[in-house]
C-alpha cells in the first residue's frame, strides 16, 4: 500500500449532521473526499469526536474519514431515557450513519465504549465492516466472563456500578469536572502530557453542551453515563450474585471480519488479561500490544497508533 504519511494533513470539517431514519441526529467531523473508501472512527467515554483528531488528519489523505459524536454526546441527540442507550440502538445508529453517508461498507476503528458497540456491529453486520480496528475495548464474551468470574476484573470495573447510580452525572460535573479531569490523568495521578490546557478546554466545552429541542433540559453528561446504566455488562454489586453467563452461546460471538486489536497494557480498568483467548472468537486476528500505553494510548502515541492502523488497511 502506498505510504501517505509524509503528505500534508487533511483538513478536518466540523458541524456536519446526519438525521437518521430512526430519528437520531448525529453530529460528525470528517476529513478527506466523499467517494473515497469510508473510515468510521467511534469514540468512547467520556470523549467525543475530537478523540480522533490525529486520525482524521492522517486518514483523510486517503479515505473519507468520519468521526461521529455518539448519541448522548456533545452535539448529537441526547435522549433522557436509559432505554435509548441499549447497545442495539447505538449499533443501529452506526448502520444508518454509514448508509446516510452514501456507503454500504466501512473500515471501523473504535475505542472503549465505541469498541464495545463496534464488536457487536461486526458480529451482527459483518458485510458492513471491511476491517475492524479495536483499541482497548474487550470482546463482549470475554468481558462478560471476566466480570462473572475474575475478582481482579470485578474490582477494576467497580467504577461502572458507581456510574450507574442516580446522580453520577452531577458528581462528574462538580467542581468544574474535577472527576473527569482526574479520569484522564496518567497512572501517577498527574496530568497527562497530552491533556493540555487547550485540550482540556475542548473537553469541558463538550461536557457542557446542552441538549436541544426535545432533548432540552437533559444534563449534558446523562447520555454518557446512560451507556453504563443501559448495559447488562457490569460487575456484581455488594451482596449481588455474579452475572450468569451460562445462557450465552460462545459461537454467537464470533467475529468474521479481519480484526486488528491494539492494547495499551497499562490500562487500569481493562487489564491485558482481557485479550487472553481472543483468537478463539476472532479467527482473523492481529494483536498489537503497547506495554507502556494506558487506556488513553490513542492520545499518548497517535503516530504509532496511526502506523498500526494504516498497516492493517485493505489493499
Give the active site residues.
112, 228, 295
Query: Which of 265-269's residues contact partners 24+ apart within 8 Å by CB, and which partners?
Result: 265/289, 265/290, 265/291, 265/292, 265/293, 266/187, 266/291, 266/292, 266/293, 266/294, 267/136, 267/293, 267/294, 267/295, 268/156, 268/187, 268/294, 268/295, 269/156, 269/157, 269/159, 269/295
Q: CA 118 to CA 132: how far, in whole Å?
A: 8
Neighbours of 88 (CB within 10 A): 11
CA distance 220 to 241: 33
> What gap in Å lies between CA 205 and CA 85, rounded to an integer?
22
Bridge partners, residue 288, by sequence: 262
Tell me whether the omega of the peptide bond preceding residue 45 falls within 30 degrees of 0, making it cis: no
Helix (H) or strand (E) holding 305: helix 302-312
Phi, psi values for residue 254, rounded to 5°: -80, 135
Grid coordinates given for 241: 450474585
Amino acid at each position: 500500500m502506498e505510504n501517505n504519511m509524509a503528505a500534508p494533513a487533511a483538513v478536518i470539517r466540523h458541524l456536519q449532521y446526519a438525521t437518521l431514519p430512526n430519528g437520531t441526529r448525529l453530529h460528525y467531523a470528517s476529513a478527506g473526499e466523499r467517494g473515497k473508501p469510508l473510515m468510521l472512527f467511534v469514540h468512547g467515554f467520556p470523549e467525543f469526536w475530537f478523540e480522533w483528531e490525529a486520525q482524521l488528519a492522517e486518514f483523510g489523505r486517503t479515505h473519507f474519514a468520519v468521526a461521529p459524536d455518539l448519541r448522548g454526546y456533545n452535539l448529537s441527540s441526547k435522549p433522557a431515557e436509559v432505554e435509548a442507550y441499549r447497545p442495539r440502538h447505538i449499533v443501529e445508529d452506526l448502520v444508518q450513519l454509514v448508509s446516510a453517508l452514501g456507503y454500504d461498507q466501512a473500515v471501523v476503528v473504535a475505542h472503549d465504549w465505541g469498541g464495545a458497540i463496534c464488536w457487536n456491529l461486526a458480529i451482527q453486520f459483518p458485510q458492513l465492516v471491511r476491517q475492524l480496528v479495536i483499541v482497548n475495548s474487550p470482546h463482549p464474551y470475554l468481558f462478560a466472563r471476566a466480570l462473572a468470574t475474575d475478582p481482579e476484573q470485578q474490582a477494576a470495573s467497580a467504577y461502572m456500578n458507581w456510574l450507574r447510580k442516580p446522580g453520577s452525572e452531577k458528581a462528574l460535573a462538580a467542581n468544574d469536572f474535577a472527576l473527569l479531569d482526574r479520569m484522564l490523568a496518567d497512572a501517577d495521578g498527574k496530568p497527562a502530557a497530552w491533556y493540555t490546557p487547550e485540550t482540556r478546554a475542548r473537553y469541558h466545552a463538550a461536557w457542557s453542551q446542552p441538549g436541544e429541542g426535545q432533548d432540552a433540559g437533559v444534563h449534558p453528561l446523562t447520555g454518557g453515563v446512560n451507556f453504563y446504566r443501559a448495559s447488562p455488562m457490569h460487575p456484581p454489586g455488594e451482596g449481588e450474585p455474579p452475572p450468569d453467563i451460562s445462557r450465552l452461546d460462545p459461537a454467537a460471538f464470533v467475529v468474521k471480519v479481519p480484526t486488528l486489536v491494539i492494547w495499551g497494557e497499562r490500562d487500569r480498568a481493562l487489564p491485558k488479561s482481557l485479550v487472553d483467548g481472543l483468537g478463539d472468537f476472532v479467527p482473523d486476528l492481529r494483536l498489537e500490544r503497547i506495554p507502556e500505553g494506558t487506556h488513553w494510548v490513542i492520545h499518548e502515541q497517535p503516530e504509532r497508533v496511526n502506523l498500526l492502523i494504516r498497516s492493517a488497511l485493505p489493499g
